Amino acid sequence: MTDAPQITDSHCHLDFASFDDDRDAVIEAARAAGVHRMVTICTHLHQVAQVQTIADGHDGVYYAAGVHPMNVAEDGVPSLDALLALADHPKMVGIGETGLDYHYTIDSAAAQKDSLRLHIQAAQQTKLPLIIHARDADDDMADILGAEFKNAPYTCVMHCFSSGPALAKAALDLGFYLSMSGIATFPKSQAVRDIFAAAPVDRILLETDSPYLAPPPHRGKRNEPAYTAFTAQVGADVFGMDLADFAAQTETNFETLFWKAA
C-alpha cells in the first residue's frame, strides 16, 4: 500500500499487553498502510517510562500521558507538578487522556473532576493539547471544559468522539477538535457520522484507540494503527471528499494541534 495517503493515528495504546508479541510488526504494518505517525497514550503515570521507551525506539511514534478517568480511583489524582514534569521530553506531545467516565466509574466522579481540572491546568501551562475521554458525562464535561477555558485558554481534542451533539457543539465552540475512531464506521453509528458531518473539516482528527474498536472488516478483532486507513475512507465519505484530500486535511489538523509532532 505504498501509494496510500499519509495519515496519523492520533490515539492508540501500543504499550498494552495485546501488542507484546508483535509490537514492532504492528508499527511496520501501520507504515505500510500509510499511517506514518502514531501517538501512543499512557493511561497510568507509573507506566510513562514504558510508553516513552516505545516512542523513543520508533521513528514517527510519539506519546501523551495522564491518568485515565477510569484509573483515578486506583491511581489517585495526580499532582500538577507530576504532569508538568512530563512535558519536557521531545516526544511527549499531549496531556491525557483525562476526562470523565460515568458509565463504568461514576463512583469516583468527584475525584475524576479533580483530576480533569489538574490535567487542564497542565495543558494551559505547557501549551500541549488536552486529550479528553468522555462517556455518559456530557453535561459535566461541557461545564468543566467551558469554565476552565474562561480561566485560561487551552487546546483540546475530544478523543474517540461518540457523545451527543450538545457536547460536540460546546467543544467546537471552544475551538477544540473531534477525533474520529472506528465507532464512526459501525453501521449503527449514523448519529455519530451526522455529528462529524456537521463539524468543520479542519477540526477533525483520525484515530484507532487500538487495541479497541476495530473498524470493519476487522470488527471484533484486535484493532491496530494500520486500520486508521479504514476510518479515513469513511471520514472522506462523510465529508464528501476525495480520500487524498481528506487525509491531507487531517494531517494539517493534527500538526496544528499536536505541534510538537509536526
The pLDDT, as a whole number, for residue 3 is: 79
Per-residue pLDDT of 74-107, as tens digits, reads 999 999 999 999 999 999 999 999 999 999 999 9
Measure the N-to-C terminal CA separation of the chain; round to a whole number of Å. Answer: 23
The answer as to whether 85 is a domain residue is: yes
The answer as to whether 155 is a domain residue is: yes
The answer as to whether 246 is a domain residue is: yes
| d(C-alpha 129, C-alpha 150), whole Å | 16
State mean pLDDT over 177-206. 98
Q: Which residue has the cell 507538578?
A: 81
Neighbouring C-alpha atoms within 13 Å toward the C-beta of 118 = 20
| d(C-alpha 168, C-alpha 170), whole Å | 5
Residue 86 DSSP code:
G
| d(C-alpha 175, C-alpha 203), whole Å | 8
Is residue 68 within 8 Å of residue 108, measured between CB atoms? no
Is residue 69 within 8 Å of residue 99, measured between CB atoms? yes
State the amino acid at position 179 in one-letter form.
S
The answer as to whether 57 is a domain residue is: yes
The answer as to whether 253 is a domain residue is: yes
Structure-derived torsion over alpha carbons of residues 192, 194, 196, 200, reported in degrees to the nearest 10: -160
Q: Give the CATH number of the domain where residue 131 resides.
A: 3.20.20.140
The answer as to whether 2 is a domain residue is: no
The answer as to whether 55 is a domain residue is: yes
Residue 1: band (very low, low, confident or very high) from pLDDT cuts 50, 70, 90 = very low
| d(C-alpha 16, C-alpha 138), whole Å | 28
Per-residue pLDDT of 14-45, as tens digits, reads 999 999 999 999 999 999 999 999 999 999 99
State the amino acid at position 106 in one-letter form.
I
pLDDT at 70 > cutoff 50: yes
How many domains does the chain divide into? 1
pLDDT at 236 > cutoff 70: yes
> 37 - beta bridge partners?
8
Please give the share of the chain, as a percent, with pLDDT higher than 70.
99
Per-residue pLDDT of 127-157, as tens digits, reads 999 999 999 999 999 999 999 999 999 999 9
| d(C-alpha 212, C-alpha 155), whole Å | 25
State mean pLDDT over 218-224. 96
Q: Which structural domain range is residue 164 located in? A: 7-261
pLDDT at 71 > cutoff 80: yes
pLDDT at 2 > cutoff 90: no
pTM of full prediction above 0.95: yes
State mean pLDDT over 184-207. 98
State mean pLDDT over 186-190. 97
The answer as to whether 121 is a domain residue is: yes
Per-residue pLDDT of 102-122, as tens digits, reads 999 999 999 999 999 999 999
Q: How many CB atoms lie within 10 A of CB 10?
A: 33
